[in-house]
Structure 1
Amino acid sequence: MVDVILKKGKEKAVLQRHPWVFSGAIERVKGKPANGDLVKLVDAQGKFMAYGFYNNQSRVALRLLEWDEHTPVDEQWFRTKVATAVQSRSYILQDGRTNTCRLVFSEADYLPGLIVDKYADYLSLQILTSGIENNKAIIIDELQRLLQPKGIFDKSDASSRAHEGLDTVNEVLAGSPPPELVEVKENNLTYGINIAEGQKSGFYCDQRDNRHLLAAHTAGKKVLDCFCYTGGFTLNSLQQGVASVISVDSSALAIETLKKNIVLNGLDATKHAAIQSDVNKQLRKFKEDGEKFDVIVLDPPKYAPSRSALDRASRAYKDLNRIAMLLLNSGGLLATFSCSGAMDIDTFKQVLAWAALDAGKQVQFIYQFCQPEDHPVRASFPEGEYLKGLLCRVY
């Protein structure tokens, strides 16, 4: 096994079991490992530190896996990690109200670059690192052994794969192809999921708890659901008996699927309107038309993919939330989210405070949303805490 030598003074993060080693922290590599090869990380004196995946094309040159020199990272190691991750989520699916969740969450489950989501009898998988790609056959076999899914679909189409020297993939890995719409249940609501063509792995199960929590505030209210995708917040609001709900998304496929989901659940479509539009443009049109709402949901895509984008993203979040605040009736509720890992909750609160100041509004933070239990945050990898949100009362 090739030795990768860490620069002197760069040991702290490794000793604290952070799983990333950046290329600038590496002194030299003894040999020429291929991308995705397992290597041994040693300190400047040659003392063992950890095993990890190597990739010289990525800014994260090493993704660490195991800190015990006497524990081999072999086939059984991968099988154990996959099995542990899957079994730790079993309770989420036990009562029959929900049959979709995240089964493997990358670094949080000690498998950097592997994401596995369960959608009823199908699995959707994303592989974002060359090391996991090299061990894909083992992972697929273990998932089949544990779950016997009807099919496993590889949705590894993220642009980040290019940083690892990998092409994008969109194909069936095992079993049968998923139908155009796979019906899944979340909190006793049914959703049609387009695994092959939908965003990310097909469905945002990270908002499961937040959709349910917010719905309790929507009965009898006029609701606006922005970046609605296939209708998670919309459906929960309709189930609670809203006065009306308008859903806005730029994706025609998302809007079409949302309408099907309303019919699928037997909800009152007369209380719903869907608008395919850029959200920022639509919010400005609502303002021009003098529209007002009691509850607004803002669940935008990732504005800050990295810390270098944080300033620009902060301005975008501020402007988006400022306009939403102007559209709320006095005392109305704004449920606003950020899925940017680079933006922590304190920064997000500051952005909202700036938005309130610019809008001439007073804002109370009355609840803090977070990602659910199937998206755990590893103590040594705080970067895994990406989803945060605030329920705000606006005057």
Structure 2
Amino acid sequence: MIDVILKKGKEKAAVLRHPWIFSGAIEKIKGKPENGEVVTVKSAEKEFLAYAYYNDQSRVALRLLEWDENITIDKQWYQEKLSKALASRSHVLDENTNTCRLVFSEADFLPGLIVDKYADFLSLQVLSAGIEAVQEDIITILRDQLNPKGIFDKSDGGARKHENLEPVQGLLWGEVPPEFIEVKENGITYHINIADGQKSGFYCDQRDNRLILAEYTKDKTVLDCFCYSGGFSLNSLNKGATHVTSVDSSALAIETLMHNLELNGFSKDKQNSIQSDVNKQLRAFKEEGKKFDVVILDPPKYAPSRAALDRAARAYKDLNRLGMLLLESGGILATFSCSGAVDLETFKQIIAWAALDAGREVQIIKQFSQPEDHPIRISFPEGEYLKGLLLRVL
């Protein structure tokens, strides 16, 4: 196995079991490893630190896998890691929920691998050269342990560019997924499209938050922005909201939402869907003098990196300012950020600026996070990407 020697004083991250080492920390490489190859990482004093995937095309040149020198990174190793990840989610799945995240990359010691379960189908995102090199073994292990109907590749995200990998999408094994896969979450049925949907087809990271927020919507009028396939809208209707307005710029999202409303037997009199740019629609509602009891803001990732943080902060502030202006006094605002570059304290500051500009007093009632099938490894705080606030706007 090829040795990668770190510069003196650059071993701290590895010692603390953080899974990333950047290219600037490398002193020398004894040999010429292929991208995605497993290498031995050593300190400047030649002491063993960890085994890692190597990639000279990425800023994160080393993705650490294993800190025990006596363990071999082979198919058995991958089987053990996958078995542990799957077992830790087994209680999440029941008669009311048959979709969740089974593997969450670094949090499950498999950097660059995301596996989502949608009823009898699996969706894979392969985001590192190291995982791509062992993809066939991973597919075999998943087949043997889960016996899915099919495994679909959704490795079409921008993260692959950082590893110098081309985006790919398509069937990896088994049956081609139908146009709509029927899944259940919190007792609500959804038809989702893996092949054409955003990301891996469904945002299961909001499962717990949908249920929590729905408790505040009984007998209330609700505005669900960036509604996608209707998770917050459907949970609100299920808990007795008097009316829900759902807004998304995607025609496919609105079409899927309407289909899901019918699937669950919700009255069309209690919901209307609007295909529109959310910011534009919020301004239109403001001009009309429209007011709601509950406003939900769950936008896409505004800050894909720290370099985009300032621009994202302005976007989040304006979005939340508009949301606050549409609330009745004492109304509820549920606001989220899925940008890893925006930490919770920064997000709170942005909300404070929005409240000041809107001329509204705001109380924090609850804080939202990602559910347990998206665990946050204590040595890898970057895995905490989803944060949210439940606010009372006075």
| TM band (smaller chain) | over 0.9
Write out per-residue CA displacement over residues 201-241 of structure 1, whole angstroms, 9 at most, x where no aligned residue. 10000000000111111011110000000000000011112
Q: Give the letter for the 2:279 counterpart.
A: N
Runs of at least 4 residues of structure 1 off by over 4 A? none
SS state at 1:51 partner: strand
Shift of 1:332: 0.3
Q: Which residue of 2 aligns with 1:19?
A: 19
SS state at 2:91 partner: helix
Q: Pairwise mapping of residues 250-261 of structure 1 onto structure 2 (< 5 A)? A: 250-261=249-260
Q: Which residue of 2 aligns with 1:175?
A: 174
Q: Which residue of 2 aligns with 1:387?
A: 386
Q: Which residue of 2 aligns with 1:298?
A: 297
Q: Pairwise mapping of residues 224-239 of structure 1 onto structure 2 (< 5 A)? A: 224-239=223-238
Q: Which residue of 1 aligns with 2:160?
A: 161
> Where do 5+ consecutive residues of structure 1 fail to align?
none
Q: Give the letter for the 2:45 counterpart.
A: Q
Shift of 1:279: 0.6
Measure the CA separation in 2 of the matches of 1:326 and 1:236: 24
Measure the CA separation in 2 of the matches of 1:210 and 1:335: 10
Q: Which residue of 2 aligns with 1:190?
A: 189
Q: Give the letter for the 1:39 counterpart.
A: V
Write out per-residue CA displacement over residues 314-373 of structure 1, whole angstroms, 9 at most, x where no aligned residue. 111111101110110000000000001111111111110110001100000001111001
Q: Pairwise mapping of residues 1-395 of structure 1 onto structure 2 (< 5 A)? A: 1-93=1-93, 95-395=94-394
Measure the CA separation in 1 of the matches of 2:38 and 2:25: 18
- The worse-fitting range, judged by mean Cα deviation, of 4-13 and 257-266 is 4-13
Q: Give the letter for the 1:310 counterpart.
A: L
Measure the CA separation in 1 of the matches of 2:382 and 2:305: 11
RMSD over equivalenced CA pairs, Å = 0.7
Measure the CA separation in 2 of the matches of 1:113 and 1:102: 14
- The worse-fitting range, judged by mean Cα deviation, of 236-245 and 366-375 is 236-245
Residue correspondences, number? 394
Measure the CA separation in 1 of the matches of 2:306 and 2:314: 14
Measure the CA separation in 1 of the matches of 2:290 and 2:376: 39
Measure the CA separation in 2 of the matches of 1:269 and 1:239: 13
Measure the CA separation in 1 of the matches of 2:166 and 2:313: 31
Measure the CA separation in 2 of the matches of 1:197 and 1:59: 30
Shift of 1:166: 1.2
Write out per-residue CA displacement over residues 130-185 of structure 1, whole angstroms, 9 at most, x where no aligned residue. 00000101111111111100000000001221221211111111110000000000
Q: Give the letter for the 1:26 counterpart.
A: I
> Where do 5+ consecutive residues of structure 2 fail to align?
none
Write out per-residue CA displacement over residues 107-130 of structure 1, whole angstroms, 9 at most, x where no aligned residue. 000000100000000001100000
Q: Give the letter for the 1:336 counterpart.
A: T
Shift of 1:253: 0.4
Percent identity of paired positions between Structure 1 and Structure 2: 69
Shift of 1:35: 0.6
SS state at 1:184 partner: strand
Measure the CA separation in 1 of the matches of 2:145 and 2:258: 35
Shift of 1:242: 1.3
Measure the CA separation in 1 of the matches of 2:12 and 2:46: 16
Shift of 1:311: 1.6
Measure the CA separation in 1 of the matches of 2:276 and 2:59: 36
Superposition TM-score, scaled by structure 1 size: 0.99
Q: Give the letter for the 2:352 counterpart.
A: A
Measure the CA separation in 2 of the matches of 1:103 and 1:165: 26
Q: Give the letter for the 1:234 counterpart.
A: S
Superposition TM-score, scaled by structure 2 size: 0.99
Measure the CA separation in 2 of the matches of 1:147 and 1:4: 36
Q: Give the letter for the 1:32 counterpart.
A: K
Q: Give the letter for the 2:79 counterpart.
A: R
Shift of 1:12: 1.0
Measure the CA separation in 2 of the matches of 1:276 and 1:226: 10
Measure the CA separation in 2 of the matches of 1:118 and 1:309: 32
Measure the CA separation in 2 of the matches of 1:337 and 1:153: 29
Q: Give the letter for the 2:341 counterpart.
A: A
